[in-house]
Amino acid sequence: MTINLIYIVLGLSLLVFGADRLVAGASKLAASFNVPSVLIGLTIVSFGTSAPELTVSIQSAVTGQGSLAFANVLGSNTFNILFILGVSALIAPLVVSQELVKRDIPMLVIASFIVTALVWDGWLSQLDAALLCLLLLFYVVYLFTQGRALSNKNNEPTPSQQPNRWRERAVSMLLFIVGLGLLILGAKLMVDNAVQLARALAVDEVMIGLTIIAIGTSLPEVVTSIMASIKGHADIAVGNVIGSNLFNSLGVLGVTGLISATPLEVTSRMLRIDISVMIVATILCTPLLISGLMLSRKEGGILFIGYVAYFVYTLI
Q: What is the pLDDT of residue 151?
A: 57
Give residue-wise pLDDT tens across range 260-280.
989 999 999 999 999 999 999
Model confidence at 174: pLDDT above 80? yes
Q: What are the CA-CA distances from residue 100 to residues 21, 84, 184, 289, 293 (Å)?
A: 27, 17, 32, 10, 10
Model confidence at 8: pLDDT above 80? yes
Q: What is the pLDDT of residue 36?
A: 59
Give residue-wise pLDDT tens across range 91-132.
988 877 777 777 788 899 999 999 999 999 999 999 999 999
For the chain, the structural domain boundaries read: 2-315
Is the CATH code 1.20.1420.30 the one for domain 2-315? yes
Q: What are the CA-CA distances from residue 93 to residues 85, 100, 241, 244 (Å)?
A: 10, 16, 15, 21
